[in-house]
Amino acid sequence: MKINFSNFFAISFLLVSVGVYASPEEDRELFHDYFEKLFPNTEYSDYKNGVYSIDSSSREQWESIEDFPPYEINIENGEELFNTPFKNGNTYAQCFENGGIGIRQNYPFFDEDKNMVMTLELAINNCRKKNGEKPLSYYKGGPMADISAYMAYTSRGNKINLEIPNNQKALEAYEHGKKLYFTKVGQLNFSCADCHVYKTGIKLRADIPSPAIGHTTHFPAYRSGAGRLVTLHERFAGCLSRVRHKPFKAQNEEYRNLEYFITYMSNGLEINGPGSRK
């Protein structure tokens, strides 16, 4: 694949140079322009499908899997869990707008009362604690992934429209997420951007890294390698482990800010979770 190096250096400079701060909207426009030139035959709306938006051979196999999706039972389990009353008689529906239906695209958002990024999975556990229940694990699939999958399923077709408020803490959270995305870490000295911006479309070992745009649309995702649903933050942890960097704890500030940044980069894309991936 021929890389347009003028775009390559432009996105590197504007997004990561010390002391250079573009607005979030300028960052997003630069991202979109970069990928539009890199993959001119890919419609923006198709980036919700990850690597399958740029690799036709992988897409054919993926579409055959989606005919009989392996996560159907997870959606069913999630719906049952979502509607099962807590010991106090309340359900998850009491904790979310619109009863929790069709709202996946509203997360993450910056909670100005708490001065922090709020993700859907964190909100699910906050709901449980508010109702006297123990929090669910964010790892290894299970109830958290199933509930999140059900809520994503009810939101399919709804478009991400993340707004970053004119709030210093919100802008700092965005910048911190952006910095983590482009910072090389671990013994292998890799960043998220190394795979998903600079090397996307190029085969690394047996896989082609997916484009940076659209990463949050389809989570939780059923990963065939794991044989189960994987939440977004578990995927973050897996990537860090692969470059030999100690993962952060799920739902800590680093991951929440990272999710905030990459979700903003995917504004305008439809939710299509849960999805299936290798």
3-state DSSP of the chain: CCCCHHHHHHHHHHHHCCCCCCCHHHHHHHHHHHHHHHCCCCCHHHHHHHHHHCCHHHHHHHHHHHHCCCCHHHHHHHHHHHHCCCCCCCCHHHHCHHHHCCCHHHCCEEECCCCEEECHHHHHHHHHHHCCCCCCCCCCCHHHHHHHHHHHHCCCCCECCCCCCCCHHHHHHHHHHHHHHHCCECCCCECHHHHHHHCCCCCECCECCCCCCCCCCCCCEEECCCCEEECHHHHHHHHHHHCCCCCCCCCCHHHHHHHHHHHHCCCCCECCCCEEEC
Question: Residue 130 has which token pair?
Answer: 């508010």
Which CATH number is 72-153 given?
Answer: 1.10.760.10
Is-catalytic flag, 239? yes
Q: Where are the domains of the chain?
A: 5-68+165-277, 72-153
- At 16, is the pLDDT very low, low, confident or very high (cuts 50, 70, 90)? low
Intrachain domains 5-68+165-277 and 72-153 with the same fold: yes
* Helix orientation angle between 72-83 and 142-153, rounded to the nearest 10 degrees: 100
Share of the chain above pLDDT 90, in %: 82
Q: What is the pLDDT of residue 57?
A: 84
Share of the chain above pLDDT 70, in %: 92
Q: What is the pLDDT of residue 12?
A: 55
Q: What is the pLDDT of residue 21?
A: 64
Q: What is the pLDDT of residue 26?
A: 92
Residue labelled with tokens 């030139």: 37
Question: Residue 137 has which token pair?
Answer: 């694990």
Instruction: Return the CATH number of 5-68+165-277, one of 1.10.760.10, 2.40.40.20, 1.10.260.40, 2.60.40.1580.
Output: 1.10.760.10
55-66 pLDDT, tens digit per residue, is 988 898 899 989
Q: What is the pLDDT of residue 257?
A: 98
103-139 pLDDT, tens digit per residue, is 999 999 999 999 999 999 999 999 999 999 999 999 8
- At 201, is the pLDDT very low, low, confident or very high (cuts 50, 70, 90)? confident
Higher pLDDT: 278 or 50? It is 50
Mean pLDDT of 177-186: 95
What is the pTM assigned to this prediction? 0.93
Q: What is the pLDDT of residue 7?
A: 53
Query: Which listed residue (127, 192, 195, 239) is catalytic?
Result: 239
**Of the candidate ranges 68-77, 86-95, 201-210, the one whose mean pLDDT is the lowest:** 201-210
- At 20, is the pLDDT very low, low, confident or very high (cuts 50, 70, 90)? low
